[in-house]
Amino acid sequence: MLKGIPKILSPELLKVLCEMGHSDRLVIADGNFPAQTMGKNGIVIRMDGHGTCEILEAILQVFPLDTYVEHPMNLMQVMPGDTVETPIWEEYKEIVKKADARGEALIGEIERFSFYEEAKSAYAIIATGESALYANIMLQKGVVV
């Protein structure tokens, strides 16, 4: 056990977060995301019993977000014509406001198929049990100053 580290962050996940360098990307994927397919060239960490909000909140306690890009946190954009509501995005905004002074301004959106393409080159993908639709998040790591 370590002091000050959220208990949800497993040794495997902490190791991956430490290994990541500036500009490396991490995907926190909902339960519908094809994590194993997209993560063939990276690392896939299974966290099926957890939701994206609790994982995001814990990660942002130890993970600096990039300050050299406009949107170091990106969500998967809702497909045109989809009538899906995304109330979980409001929860993400509140979590980010607590973790980073830039608040929700650092959140962008990536078109669904572009998100998949970018996820293929992510350093790691966390596969969660999140049931909310369009709950996928891509984080870009910054530096500790």
Which domains are seen in the chain, by residue range?
Answer: 22-140 (3.40.1650.10)
To the query of whether residue 66 is one of the catalytic residues in this protein, the response is yes
Distance in angstroms (rounded) separating the CA atoms of residues 81 and 121: 28
To the query of whether residue 50 is one of the catalytic residues in this protein, the response is no
Q: For residue range 99-128, list pLDDT tens digits in order.
A: 999 999 999 999 999 999 999 999 999 999
Q: For residue range 60-80, list pLDDT tens digits in order.
A: 999 999 999 999 999 999 999
pTM, whole model, 2 decimals? 0.96
To the query of whether residue 22 is one of the catalytic residues in this protein, the response is yes
> 66, 92, 123, 134: which one is catalytic?
66
User: Which position has the token pair 């360098």?
Assistant: 21
